[in-house]
Structure 1
Amino acid sequence: MMNCRTLAVLLTAANVIAAPEIAAAQPAPSQETARGADDVKRADASYRKGLRLYTDGKYAEAEAELQSAWELNPTYDVAYNLGLTKYQLKKHKEAAQHLSFALRHWPLMKAAAEKRPEAEQRLAVSRALVGAVNVVVGVAGAEVLVDGTAVGKTPLEGAVFVDPGEHRVEARLEGYAPASQMVKVAKGGTAEVMLALALAKSEPQAAAPGAKAADGASTLGAGFGAPAAGLAPGAPVEPVQPPPQRSWVPVLALGAASVVGLGVGIGTTVASNAASDDAHKQSAAIIQGRGQCVKPESSWAGPCEQVRNDASRADTLGNVARVAFIASGAFAIAAATYVLWPKPKRSESAVALPVVHSDGAGIAVMGAW
């Protein structure tokens, strides 16, 4: 079924194609159907107004309209055009964020494929001017904040682009103690952040009046005038059994698996960064040579293809690294949970002792509860 935005673009296709920086709108139906019809309608109106403003060179006004469309209906085409607008305004951090989103959700259709090289080229230029942080948290659904600003919930879909310098990355989730880490990111570089959320400790409850301490000993006199029924004086009782000892085999196995996962993650991260650096250098060389990869000349076809291959390889290795880091963290958390899990409590026991006095005989029961 053709939706309202697609119909609008077909009717105004000539105006959109005439603008070299703007792509024809092709929203993702699966995302729009999850939103209200009113939001989609208002987003489409802002989107088309933003396209016209961009064509007229009014980038600041276009940014406001496209930002409104993005907040109401975040689709790949809105992200692409908003990324181009941010690029024109030299907001390269935000441009990289939106363009990377657009490329991750780019549809497999011929009309859209013609604009993809332009998105890749603009992303490469913006990416070389900013840093990126890959955040991995051991618990899903945690809110991730960078310098106090929320950037999404785990697992994050892609990297978070930041200005070069130091940044605080934090993860929060109800029921867990927050975790944070300071990272320093260079221009064009990538930092890996792994945060482990620990369950928050509950407040100890006050003991009820007259309650016995968990391990405190108590002495009860039972029938000093006569022996207690069912327990003869001096009857043997079962000795207190020590709590079972933990086996360290699972800890060693989980620890070894965590180390292997960490090694794989570090190795693939290094390889991913190297591929990303190759792509950035090649892209910079193309730009310095006054070439471009949107419709490259024959002399630039090979270098442009190499840029795409290196970028694809960097993404693949980065995904492998993230999976390895997550697995390593999961194994480490499992090992720590096994070690720190409360041991079985000592079984309750009692000792019966004979008591003899001038008025009769009986027993005294001594136990620990």
Structure 2
Amino acid sequence: MRNLTMRWTAAACCALSACFLAPGAARAQGSPPPTAADDDVPGNNRRAAQLYLEGNEAFKEKRWSDAELLYLKAWALVRSFDIAANLGEVQLKLNKPRSAAAFLAFSLRTAPPSAKPPHVERVRRYLDEARKQVGAVRLQGTDVADAEVFVDGERVPAEEVKHEIYVEPGEHRIVIRRAGYEEVAMPLMARAGVRETVPVAMKPVEVKAPETTGAGPEATKAAGAGGENGAAASGDAKTKAPAAGARVEERRSWVPVIALGTASVVGLGVAVGFTVASNSASADAQRFSDVLARANEQCIKPRGEFVETCTQTSRAASRAGTTGDLAFGSYIVSGALALAVLTYAVWPAPPKSTETGVRVAPFGGSRTAGIIVAGAW
């Protein structure tokens, strides 16, 4: 299986290498770019080869944006020198010299010995053209290799950090971070066509030793002999207990507030209910009274047909009075409970005495005698 995988990988490299710079070379030689056999190139390599060939077709038709996208997709699958070369050339045509320089430099560094000299020279020529439009920075230092480098907040790939970092001309800010070292930040003024070497010295983060109190043999002896007492003293320093006899404020419980508040709300609801019932009964009594008034009838000695009306009027009036009294009482109870809640919440809690001890007092009478013992803890 290992030999088979190596053969497939080699086939993919050959397929891509055969197409290396095919947009320029194929037209010069008058032959079409070779194709990759699907049976020989598995997985990502097969897909990368297909994308690479599609990118070459877009290159020939001068569809630079399409070619760039296809090359980038192929690059995401297989990072080879030939994909980097064509991608860098396309980006240079799209006026992206910084990214083009990075891809062309990668292609030049990783070109295999089998790469044809004219093709390598072509990459070198385009790289020189890209470098004339950007600035190049080489970070020099023993601690930079494993560090994270950011230019204007954007992380630089480790491949570029090891060699050269390409930036657009102008002002930039470089930040270098590494675990266990202090962060290094520096400004950079990049100039087109200028290559700079910036020395970097990273300082390890200083770890402060814990501070110790006391000095000399006596302090050491006291610390060793009184470790338990020292721990107790340390605890006392953090939370000091009140002195005996001191009066401290007792923490207030909010359970009565919740209970009384709930009762007050319930009482208010009951009062509203009785008020509605009283108003309804009053309306009924008024309606019956209006009927009697229109008939010019009184309920002292009513006629037969108005006896029932007088009875209903009396019942409605009585019901209105009763429910009105209940509503009034409910309003009083609800208000009293609300006032109790407010008083309890605002009134300061009585201080709690922390005095401890035992008191003994004699007592006596005509027939009895003794002592009273009282204690508080």
TM-score for the superposition, normalised by structure 2: 0.47
Bigger CA radius of gyration? 2
Higher relative contact order (CA 8 A, sep 6+): 1
TM-score for the superposition, normalised by structure 1: 0.48
